[in-house]
Amino acid sequence: MGEAIGTAASVMLGTAATCRMRLGGGDGSWHALTMSMAWVGATFAGLLIAASSGAGHLNPAVTLGLYAGGHFPGDRVQPFMLAQCLGAFLGAALMWLSCLPLWGQARGDRRTIDCFCVQPAVRAPLGILLVEVVGTMLLVAGFMALRKACAADPTTSMVEGRGIMLWAIGGAALTLSLGLSLAGGWGVALNPARDLGPRLAHTLLPLPGKGSSAWWEAWPAVVGPLVGAWIAGALSRTLA
């Protein structure tokens, strides 16, 4: 439950900021920094919520990477991933509600799907896939380091007490660094739930002139993070 609620909070806050930037007239040279900072706050809030009642992953790739590294039980991987995807869908639906006055401004253009999903400015699926793999490897490596810093349980990676705040701050810092370094131009997600949940919401919700949900663009954001997470986890176990 904590994973679903935390992921919903993170996606709702982050995509709402994106929607107001895309449809509310915000743009310019500070666009990348503004969006990155918005997602930092969203990630911090989500991690704080999720870690207080669970493991605080918010991301199927983090769950898979910790499992591959031997730091998360296998019987909890699938429930966590499902909870994260469901939370991402609910977060996108809440964003849709909170931004109702803005949807009429995006009839017939790609700004609607941009509010829900990360849309690459460069149409290069294999290049995006590579960035997703490498970026997620760094993300999972960062969370593995956080696991030690927070004195997390060695088999479940659960954090308690002051470790919860450090986990949330560290995860938000990782989001800022990777967002500023990798997101520009490519539009990477580094999180399968971040793409799948909102894209499904875009497909199902009644949006004026929303156009296609561009499911053919989703696969790098799903496959790449899972591959990168598994590589990072496997390397961690090998080198330990």
DSSP 112-132: HHHHHS---SS--HHHHHHHH
- Tell the residue number behind the tokens 């493991």, with chain if given: 55
Q: Region 77-99: what's the mean pLDDT?
A: 96
Give, in order, the Cα–Cα distances in Å from 199 to each of 11, 55, 95, 176.
12, 25, 13, 23
In whole angstroms, give the CA distance from residue 79 to residue 82: 5
pLDDT tens digits, 94-134: 999 999 888 877 665 677 888 898 877 777 889 889 999 99
What residues does each domain of the chain span? Answer: 2-239
CATH topology of domain 2-239: Glycerol uptake facilitator protein (1.20.1080)
pTM above 0.85, yes or no: yes
Cβ neighbours for 180, distance < 8 A, ≥ 6 positions apart = 32, 33, 36
pLDDT tens digits, 144-155: 999 888 877 777
Q: Give the side-chain half-sphere CA count within 13 A for 91.
A: 36
pLDDT tens digits, 173-187: 998 888 888 865 556
Structure tokens at 157: 């990676």
High-pLDDT (> 70) share of the chain, %: 92
